[in-house]
Amino acid sequence: MTLEKIGEVIKTGIHIGILPHIDGDGDCIGSSFALLLALKKLGKNAKVVVEEDIPPVYSFLPGQYTKSDELSAEDTFDMIICLDSGDEGRIKDRLHLLHNSKVTVNIDHHITNTKFAQHNYVDPDSAATGEIIYDLIRLLGIEIDREIAANLYVAIATDTGGFRYSNTTSRTHHIVANLLQADIDIASINRKVFETVTLSKLKLLSDAANRIELYGAGKIAFIALTREFIKEAGANDDDTDGLASLPRTVEGVEVGILLTEKEPQKIKVSFRSNEYVDVSEIAALFGGGGHMRASGCTLKTDMKTAKAKVLEAVKDSMRPTTCSIHS
């Protein structure tokens, strides 16, 4: 399906629900708000519907959202658009909105996307869903104003790690060059997104750094965050956000693993790699997904078992016979 066709489909919607994935990040929130503002300019009755409040770090972004448990009886949607969600699990408790909608659209850039909607547009070459939404908004003939630009900038900047990751392309920079023409304050945005931490998060980071374990001759770095540990650090779930990229920053490490105990018997696993291990394949072994350099899954087991399973899978992926080299 082409993006032009997706644009045609979207034009037919009247009451449109936009669903970012759970555990919201800059890409899904920025993309959702940008599309919301654009659809309003088209005269659509659109709403961003989330399951949890968005992380405070993104609260400065222009846009509104409604929590799914606050929807009223009048809130029915004839079209649902899922953004940045690789599979239905990422829509979680809002799946009924998807299933009850006449028309469903899925726009994403995860290579592992299961194409769960009627109309799917998945482009793994896009660094962020925000890049696709940029093209879509242009296709719809809507002007990218300052508010839309700020949202798209955050979407793209966060998924590229501030334009440093290997998914960053010349197209990424071309798009962002156009966004800057809308006169957004990138110094202020970047400070808010990348250079501001809560004290509790900084303390959690330092405690977590103290607990890094190395395996596989120093090529694998591992951190486990138990509920008890998070509590002792005086931190909350929002503070664990972004911690996944810490282990792979250790010199000599190829794969960084972060295990977060979300609740008893429910371990969130984040994989990050640097040069050659395709971590989307490792996450897929456990029913998760993502990208070559960043992926994740959830294991319904205890921390000890999760650690053993995950370490074994990562070690396997690094054996010469099964190791795939990507330049």
The contact set with Mn ion (CB under 5 A) reads 27, 84, 129, 159
Q: Which is nearer to Mn ion, 113 or 204 (CB)?
A: 113
Least Cβ distance, residue 54 to Mn ion (angstroms) = 15
Least Cβ distance, residue 76 to Mn ion (angstroms) = 28
Least Cβ distance, residue 314 to Mn ion (angstroms) = 22
SS3 19: strand
Q: Which is nearer to Mn ion, 151 or 233 (CB)?
A: 151
- What residue has token string 């194409």? 115
Q: Which is nearer to Mn ion, 28 or 235 (CB)?
A: 28
- Name the nearest CA neighbour of 6 among 132, 90, 163: 132
Q: Which is nearer to Mn ion, 193 or 224 (CB)?
A: 193
Q: Say how far apart CA 143 and CA 233 lie, in whole Å.
A: 46
Q: Say how far apart CA 15 and CA 88 lie, in whole Å.
A: 21
Amino acid at 286: F
Least Cβ distance, residue 189 to Mn ion (angstroms) = 17
Q: Could you give the C-alpha distances from 107 to 121, 140, 205, 279, in angstroms and in order?
A: 5, 15, 33, 22
* Contact by Cβ (8 Å): 35, 49: no
Least Cβ distance, residue 316 to Mn ion (angstroms) = 27
Q: Which is nearer to Mn ion, 245 or 301 (CB)?
A: 245
Q: Which residues contact 156 (CB under 8 A, 6 or more apart)?
A: 27, 30, 127, 128, 130, 131, 134, 172, 175, 176, 179
Q: Which is nearer to Mn ion, 97 or 155 (CB)?
A: 155
Q: Which is nearer to Mn ion, 172 or 230 (CB)?
A: 172
- Please, which residues bridge with residue 50 across strands? 67
Least Cβ distance, residue 214 to Mn ion (angstroms) = 29
- Name the nearest CA neighbour of 255 among 281, 219, 283: 219
Q: In which element (H, E) is residue 119 found?
A: strand 119-122
Q: Say how far apart CA 318 and CA 324 lie, in whole Å.
A: 8
Q: Which is nearer to Mn ion, 27 or 278 (CB)?
A: 27
Least Cβ distance, residue 47 to Mn ion (angstroms) = 21
| Strands annotated E in 165-318 | 213-215, 220-225, 255-263, 266-273, 289-290, 294-299
Q: Say how far apart CA 317 and CA 249 lie, in whole Å.
A: 19
Least Cβ distance, residue 36 to Mn ion (angstroms) = 17
* Contact by Cβ (8 Å): 233, 200: yes
In this chain, which residue has its C-beta nearest to Mn ion?
A: 27
